Amino acid sequence: MVNTKTKNKPIAINVAIYARVSTEEQAEQGYSIPAQIELLRALCKSEQKVVFKEYIDAGISGKSIDKRPAIQELLRDVEQGLIHEVVVWRMDRISRKMSDLLSILDKLDHHNVKFLSYSEKQYDTKTASGKLNLQMFGAIAEFQRNSIVENVKMGMKQRARDGKWNGGNVLGYDVVEVPSGKGTDSVLMINPLEAELVRKIFRMYAAGQGLRSIANQLNKEGYKTKPGNAFSTVAVKTILNNPVYIGKIRYNVRENWNEKRRKGINPDPIIADGEHEPIIDLDMWEAVQKLYGKKSKTSPRVYEGTYLLTGLMRCPQCGGTLGAHRVKDTLKDGTVVVRRYYVCNKFKNNGSRACSSNSVRADFVESYVLERIAEVVQHPKVLDDIVNKINKDRVKSVTPLQKEIAFLEKELKTLDAQKQKYFRLYESDTIDNDFLLERLNELKGKYDTLTQRKREAERQLESNSSNPISIKEVRAVMTKFHNLLESSPHNTQKTLLQTVIKQVHIKKAGKEIEGIELEFDEGIKKYFLTLAPSTNKVEGAFAFPKQKPPYRYTLVI
């Protein structure tokens, strides 16, 4: 005989209640966790359903499910068959991202778990029309979230353009809340102790110390970063490249960090004058940026040792850089001799199929460079002859440049006329749209090439048309450069040479040097050579009377 009470007794339905609220929604009416839970408990009670468990993600965005522990736990319980139904206050509590929402609902359906939204009860996920309505609602929820994010980003970008700080701690400043309108605003106030540390880092780098050397010294002296960690090369580099220290606001350097990570670099970030007080003066800033840019273009070096000219020489065969290389020989008496060379990096990394070694003895080339600089300083006539030759070459090159610029301008006008011609043919239906676009793209390529060459020619003309290079000024720069070079430690010597030397030209035989190309411009003279890197032996370093320098010039000595 069948027990009718057991037969007619309804099977208990285990319901999972899920609630979520993000930080920005805390203050909005009806979004609170207690309010959601209270409504959903009442719903389950009215329908005589058993609440298996309440899963709560408090203060977590609905952008993604990856960092929401409660939803992850709920899905694990679904897979184990512990839940028959999931109920939420509103569908966007599950996710505001359409792909995540559909993925979750698909998993629930796969395990025969019903989904119910208190606010959208009309969506039955078991029917095709119900799924369609739900997907449309999910798309709207994602659109709303994206609109909110877009508006927030727009507001923060405008704050940055207005010179306001958008939050985050930075060494040298304290973030202070001050009254502003109806609420408060975050502003940067200088922290005197930290600001002095920032100045110390800039001075160390301008004096020739590298990133690793600075980090090691700061750690040995007991300094810490803003979060209280030890200094790393990345931390030092971040400080040296942060324009906040000259009173600027930089924002939106990286976009969509969560998805793109380091690939999301914005080539045109917002940089505006900030409301805060600078820590670093503009001269020091530009000196450091110029020096950093110079160093960043040289090849990475595994071993530096006593190599002064790393990255300053090119392989006469392939044009690649010559890098440091050591050879150890053991003599018969057991003595180990280390010979230093500069060799082609392509040969070193890829073998003889890529290039030949084209090695140069380091002792030979370094001695040559230092002795040649001393020679032109000690024999003024040598330097005078070099400068006079440069001035003559500059005058000779003016006329050809002027002719080239005139020719380029004529060609650009011809291209403009051709473009207008094709537009007229298109308007008269003589040619179709595809042919027009093809011809315009072709003309654009030619136009861009000619425009680029015209700009370069104008730059060269501007340089060569400026006042003749002053022999007296060049002699003063070279003399002080040589004096500082002789009295400076190794790291500073290396920095000085890499700042002023553009390239050491090696002949194809690899045993002779064609010349040393020095490059001087207003930036080197004004922003670096007047700063006096750390040395007690040369008072004032490059502190000579300021004169109006030429635009740019090179000396081959």
- What residues does each domain of the chain span? 13-150, 173-177+188-296, 327-378, 391-465, 471-556
Task: Classify residue 406 as exposed, middle or buried by CB count within 10 Å of its CB (0-12, 13-18, 19+).
Answer: exposed
Catalytic member of 22, 61, 117, 357? 22
pLDDT value of position 245? 92
pLDDT in tens, 132-142: 666 666 666 66
Token reading at 66: 């990856």
pLDDT value of position 535? 40
Token reading at 410: 């004529």
| 426 or 261: which leads in pLDDT | 426
pLDDT tops 50 at residue 546: no
| 387 or 547: which leads in pLDDT | 387
Mean pLDDT of the chain: 76
Q: Would strands 85-88 and 114-117 be described as parallel, antiparallel, or unpaired?
A: parallel
Q: What is the CATH number of domain 13-150?
A: 3.40.50.1390
pLDDT tops 70 at residue 338: yes
pLDDT in tens, 255-273: 554 444 445 466 667 777 8
Which regions of 425-551 does DSSP assign to beta strands (E)? 501-506, 513-521
SS3 label, residue 511 = coil
pLDDT in tens, 442-478: 888 888 888 888 888 777 776 655 566 666 667 777 7
Task: Classify residue 220 as exposed, middle or buried by CB count within 10 Å of its CB (0-12, 13-18, 19+).
Answer: exposed
| Residue with token string 């040097």 | 513
The answer to whether residue 22 is catalytic is yes
Looking at the DSSP bridge assignments, the partners of residue 18 are 55, 88
Binned at pLDDT 50, 70 and 90, residue 8 comes out as low
| 59 or 123: which leads in pLDDT | 59
pLDDT in tens, 72-97: 999 999 999 899 999 988 877 877 77
pLDDT value of position 386? 67
pLDDT tops 70 at residue 313: yes
SS3 label, residue 3 = coil
What CA–CA distance (Å, rounded) separates 227 from 242? 17
Q: What is the CATH number of domain 173-177+188-296?
A: 3.90.1750.20
Mean pLDDT value across residues 140-169: 67
pLDDT tops 90 at residue 16: yes
